[in-house]
Amino acid sequence: MNSEGRRYRRLSVLVPVYNERTTVGEVLRRVRQAQIPLEMEVIVVDDGSTDGTDAVLKAISDSTIRVIKHTTNMGKGAALRTAMASASGDLVLIQDADLEYDPGDWPALLAPVLSGKAEVVYGSRFTGPRRNMFPSHWIGNRFLTLVTNVLYRSTLSDMETCYKLFTRDALHGIEIQSRGFDVEPELTAKILRKGIRIYEVPVSYAGREVSEGKKIRWQDGFKALAALLKYRITRL
């Protein structure tokens, strides 16, 4: 645990993007407007988008937003691996580009770290105001979180949340292996295996469905379950 009073200077915001032409501009506008007591760098990884996302990013990128492009779609885990390799902040936050999560919640995420209470903070969608998710997604998320708690002796309410905030020290030694959405259980498992307790705060959530552009599928649930089992027994 970090001692109270430790000063953090820079927040690295990692934004993986795949075919989010209609939302990424608004997300980055909200990112720019976020009121936080830190320097901020924004690293956007365009993961092989084919819908014109690259043109939107080209139009809005500036000195505060760095855009890295994958020539082909490699998955969220691969995009985060690329972004982390370029991050220079002593705090690292993951921000999706689909408007399900609001950067207005960043102060709540940062507060436990800045006060010395936590090294890792997750934003829970199940304890804050939300537009309810589709029942199958709700059941899948709750089940995977339950499995996480049983396997890793944790008490999380939302393992699959996008909003994950880490100190650089907490991420030390962790190398992302997952290419897809199984990056969420991988990061959680490795943090818990390091003996770091995860602090949760409520965040707002505006869930969307497949018809609205949501990309995670039921098959990803099985991959997440496999990742939880894998990293429970794998030597780190």
Asked whether the beta carbons of 105 and 203 are under 8 A apart, the reply is: yes
Average of per-residue pLDDT values in the chain: 90
User: For position 64, what pLDDT does the model report?
Assistant: 84
* % of the chain residues with pLDDT over 90: 79
Average the pLDDT over 182-191 and give the result. 97
Note the pLDDT tens digit of each residue in 39-97: 999 999 999 999 999 999 999 877 789 999 999 999 999 999 999 999 999 999 999 99
Asked whether the beta carbons of 198 and 122 are under 8 A apart, the reply is: yes
Which domains are assigned to the chain?
Answer: 10-233 (3.90.550.10)
Asked whether the beta carbons of 34 and 163 are under 8 A apart, the reply is: no
pTM of the model: 0.90
User: For position 218, what pLDDT does the model report?
Assistant: 60
Residues linked to residue 46 through DSSP beta bridges, in sequence order: 17, 69
Average the pLDDT over 214-234 and give the result. 83
User: For position 124, what pLDDT does the model report?
Assistant: 96
Asked whether the beta carbons of 17 and 45 are under 8 A apart, the reply is: yes
Residue 214: pLDDT band (50, 70, 90) is low
Residue 209: pLDDT band (50, 70, 90) is low
DSSP string, 192-212: HHTTPPEEEEE--EE---GGG
User: For position 61, what pLDDT does the model report?
Assistant: 72
Q: What gap in Å lies between CA 227 and CA 235, rounded to an integer?
A: 13
Note the pLDDT tens digit of each residue in 85-105: 999 999 999 999 999 999 999
122 φ, ψ to 5°? -110, 145
To the nearest 10°, the Cα dihedral for 14, 19, 23, 27?
Answer: 10
C-alpha closest to that of 110 among 46, 34, 173: 34
Note the pLDDT tens digit of each residue in 115-160: 999 999 999 998 866 556 666 677 888 999 999 999 999 999 999 9
